[in-house]
Chain A
Amino acid sequence: MRSENSPSFENYSVFDQPSAPDPQAKKRNLRRWIGFFLILSLFLSTASLLQTRKVSTLFGTGSIHGQVITSNGSPFQGEIYILGTSLETKTAPDGTFLMQGVPSGQQVLIVADDQIGRDFPIQVVAGKQLDLGQIRFEATAVPSP
């Protein structure tokens, strides 16, 4: 082969100069990890906060109304609670009730007589009135005090 046809040294990668370690790359990598764990911490903090019931009031309140009847269809006289809050009211003589200021989201409505309470899961929407319709309160053999 004639020398002018020979490949030059530049065509051989083995003769490339080894690139010097980029100090900025290491720093960028470190900052990526910091960013990742920062986002993870924020996500987990939010998840932890959402597990508590207190956060539900941050999303507003709604109201609920309905009528409680006994197993034989007559109006029920008793108390209404929202579990985990201080909200309570009594049913009217016709068994109807209205409760305002109920924190939005998944709540538990308790209908109670003198001794026992029945729980009904409800979904309250902020700024809206939820019509629960007729709720049947099943009496049970209760332990005497």
Chain B
Amino acid sequence: MGSSEEGQGLVEYAILISLVAISSLLVLQVFGVSVGQLYCDVAEAINLKSACTAKAICEDTFDSLDNWKTHYGKPLANQGQVCLSKGVQMYNLCSMEANVQNYTVRLENAYLYQGDGYGIFFRTSYNAKGANGYIFQYDPGLKAFVIRKWINGKEIWQPIAKTPIPKDYPIYNTPHTVEIRVQDNLYTVILDGEKILEATDDTYTKGGIGLRTWDDTQFCGDQISLLSNP
């Protein structure tokens, strides 16, 4: 076999290997598997955890509300805590400017003192009419945790995901950490480290975060972060 034929064979092997790799990635994409997450899961399993440390895209410790746009209501920030009473809608400007697709929102020390609940907007933009995007609602008014869509400041009534709040769950006066993992068209809500809700939807592909309360809610939270996904 001549050297040119051997070279041709190597090129064909290289093409084959490339196609196998591309096909594998496409299979994962079609079935909604995050390659980055898969890498991190494997890395974590073999103790390479540092390879997948989430980086903060935006962080707010609520020393002020300079980084927030209030759509309505009167939120209060004081000494590293934000408190929302009755009806409030506010959007985080850093996250709106970043306008990223995939991330994790983390709200720490979230207290609901009274009322029907609070919501965390994600993949949301806003205009004069209000929010376009998704919201996770910690919603004792509905006796459920729900994910809904919003369009032009109107909530679409039928949730895209809903799960009842367990009867013995400490809804009020207890600090909770809420995480919403936003990856492609999959939205996963993790409450105090436990996955409670999952939804898939393709309507909104990127956007920032925000907070919402309604009715006679009294809510406070310590810190909200927008973290990069692995």
Contact = CB atoms under 8 A, between A and B. Distances in A.
Interface of A: 23, 27, 30-31, 33-34, 37-38, 40-41, 44-45, 47-48, 51-53, 79, 81, 83-84, 88, 108, 110, 112-119, 140, 143-145
A53 B128 CA distance: 25
A112 to B, nearest CB: 4
Contacts of A45: 26
A53 to B, nearest CB: 6
Contacts of A27: 9, 12
B158 A44 contact: no
Contact of A110 (B1, B86, B141, B151): B151
B29 interface: yes
Given A116-B156, A118-B158, A34 B202 contact: no
Nearest to B115: A143
Contacts of A52: 202
Contacts of B72: 145
Nearest to A53: B202
Contacts of A48: 26, 29-30
B151 A117 contact: yes
A142 B154 CA distance: 11
A138 B215 CA distance: 21
B157 A118 contact: yes
Interface string B193-221: 00000000011100000000011000000
A84 B149 CA distance: 11
20 contacts: A34-B19, A37-B20, A37-B22, A44-B23, A45-B26, A48-B26, A48-B29, A53-B202, A79-B152, A81-B151, A81-B152, A83-B151, A110-B151, A110-B154, A115-B154, A117-B154, A144-B86, A144-B87, A144-B214, A145-B87
Contacts of B116: 143
B26 A143 contact: no
B132 to A, nearest CB: 10
B202 A30 contact: no
A38 B214 CA distance: 54
Contacts of A38: 19
A70 B142 CA distance: 24
Contact of B151 (A34, A41, A47, A112): A112
Contact of B155 (A47, A81, A83, A116): A116
B48 interface: no
A53 B205 CA distance: 10
Nearest to B13: A30
B8 to A, nearest CB: 8
B154 A116 contact: yes
A136 B16 CA distance: 56
Interface string B2-31: 000000010011011001101100110110
Contacts of B185: 51
A38 B141 CA distance: 53
Nearest to B27: A44
Contact of B16 (A33, A114, A115, A145): A33
Nearest to A84: B203
A121 to B, nearest CB: 11
